[in-house]
Amino acid sequence: MQTVYIAGGCLWGVQAFIKTLPGVIETEAGRANGTTDTLNGPYDGYAECVKTTFDSSIVTMKDLMHYLFEIIDPYSVNRQGEDVGEKYRTGVYSTDPRHLEAARTFIDSRSDADRIAVEVCPLTNYVRSADEHQDRLARCPDDYCHIPQALLEKYKRAAHK
């Protein structure tokens, strides 16, 4: 099993989407690469993210990048949908240099690579989000989410066929 931290805007929807993907073993809502060292906030400089534990024999980093690009506007800086601010930036963070290399290779292989605003950085710190943010959309399905409902259910349906 391997772990990568994926930021795609508001973590509620990102977690709801990622946990439906083949090969994903576990998810946890959190925040990556901030400037404060606290468990209870403030979350200065952090990107909302989903700690994603996955089986690399089923899903690769390249696959995870494809999935991420399904749910984000890769050109947007500090914004996804109606959510605006530094914490809603998109990115991939890891302590494994191979994950970062795979993410950069994926971005560099695209014809629009020069326009992509997804950051790819080593994970410098991580804070688990409060319990109220864990699996939030499962508990509160009517909350706002920038990811269309059809995408949130796309792989859930495929897994149950």
51 Rama sector, left if φ>0, alpha if ψ -120 to 50, beta otherwise: beta
Catalytic residue among 10, 49, 121, 140: 10
The backbone torsions φ and ψ at residue 22, rounded to the nearest 5 degrees and listed phi first, read -65, 140
- List strands edge to edge, sheet with 24-32: 119-122, 90-94, 2-8, 47-54, 24-32, 126-128
10 is catalytic: yes
- The token pair at 141 is 């399905």
- The token pair at 41 is 């906030």
Give the residue numbers marked as catalytic.
10
